[in-house]
Chain A
Amino acid sequence: MCGAPAQDAGLDQTLPASVDPAKETILQGRVVHTGERVAGAYVRLLDQSGDFTAEVVSSATGAFRFFAAPGRWTVRALSPVGTGERTVDAGVGFTEAQIELS
């Protein structure tokens, strides 16, 4: 029932205490544009069929995080400065993905 955990929790650290990373498939990373981190980008997670699964707004440091299931996912970012996407294979635990906007 609660809102999404803070997205700027620092990637690879400080997950909410209630989250067990041994049970979650965590797909996270940052949105960047010409080397700079992009805050406020709309980052969406698409499944293998391209269907929308979730969307978050990148944090002040450009960070995003999803709790998915093992499999192939596409992460797509949308911001006034541009768009970018990346397809990754995620398993239980952490998978990192950086999204470059152009």
Chain B
Amino acid sequence: MSRSDVLVTAEWAEEHLGQPGIVFVEVDEDVSAYDKGHLAGAVKLDWKAELQDPVRRDFVGREQFEELLSSKGISNDDTVVLYGGNNNWFAAYAYWYFKLYGHRDVRLLDGGRKKWELDSRPLTEEATQRPRTAYRASDQDTSIRAFRDEVLASIGQKNLVDVRSPDEFAGRLLAPAHLPQEQSQRGGHIPTAVNIPWAKAANEDGTFKSDDELRALYAGAGLDESKQTIAYCRIGERSSHTWFALHELLGHRDVQNYDGSWTEYGSLVGVPIEKGV
């Protein structure tokens, strides 16, 4: 797999808008962003209302995912190009989620909304209508999803990569600083985790750094490529960004995203926590 199989440039995207077989999908933390302007023909996916179970904390099941994608007019054979705000955090999360349910051809728009807007490329408020499909999903591929017991068993064994900002890693902040800081979980990080903030994998315009830069980043931070890796953040969206860099761009084989992340781990009774750097 090469970079161009999983990542498309804004230029490529603009040339391929409206092309049959390619569906652009916007996923944002700010779920109102799409309504204020989106790529022509793009559909909106609400990471919270549509990708989370409405009652318990988990993802929607396979059948609900099939219904969701069918209702959006996405076919199994479509190339899905995801993009969004926040440097593609939630688009990367959706990418990983689509892979979890076995979608074959998923790509990220490099730089997401930010790069698109900084380039002053066109956005539209026109609603997108796509005919309903009969989407079929696979069972979840849990080789890319880590759960809390695996994470606890991985302390000192696998690479644990905490991709939050240094202040969150140290326990000085409990959430990224665009969110209020009063939170119920304890501050700090999982013992033996290394802090490699997701932002170090991105340029200021939101695009990913080059493969060489990424390799140097993770090797320099002490990531042992011969070991399995689990990435985590606060709710699993920034760690999807790092999962994408490690698994999809660099081709590391065994990389999991711990979507429970700090909001789960930092609330568990009795687990070890480290603070400071």
State the A residues within 8 Å of B (CB).
1-5, 16, 18-20, 23-25, 27, 40, 42, 45, 47, 49, 51-57, 65-69, 78-80
Contacts and interface: CB of A to CB of B under 8 A. Distances in A.
Contacts of B29: 3-4
The 9 closest A-B pairs by CB, nearest first: A52-B199, A54-B177, A54-B178, A4-B178, A66-B177, A53-B165, A54-B176, A53-B177, A19-B180
Contact of A45 (B175, B177, B263): B177
Given A4-B30, A42-B114, A53-B173, A69 B197 contact: no
B120 interface: yes
A53 B167 contact: yes
30 contacts: A1-B48, A1-B235, A1-B263, A3-B30, A3-B31, A3-B48, A4-B29, A4-B30, A4-B178, A5-B180, A18-B180, A23-B181, A24-B180, A24-B181, A24-B182, A42-B118, A45-B177, A51-B200, A52-B165, A53-B176, A54-B177, A54-B179, A55-B178, A57-B85, A67-B177, A67-B180, A68-B173, A68-B177, A69-B167, A69-B172
Interface residues of B, number: 31
Interface of B: 29-31, 48, 85-87, 114, 117-118, 120, 165-167, 172-173, 175-182, 197, 199-200, 204-205, 235, 263
A4 B175 CA distance: 11
Nearest to B90: A3
Nearest to A60: B36
A65 B166 CA distance: 20
Given A3-B30, A51-B197, A53-B167, A80 B177 contact: no
Contact of B199 (A5, A24, A51, A56): A51
Contact of A78 (B166, B167, B204): B204
A49 B118 contact: no
A23 to B, nearest CB: 6
Contacts of B178: 4, 45, 54-56, 65-67
Nearest to B29: A3
Contacts of B167: 47, 53, 69
A89 B9 CA distance: 38
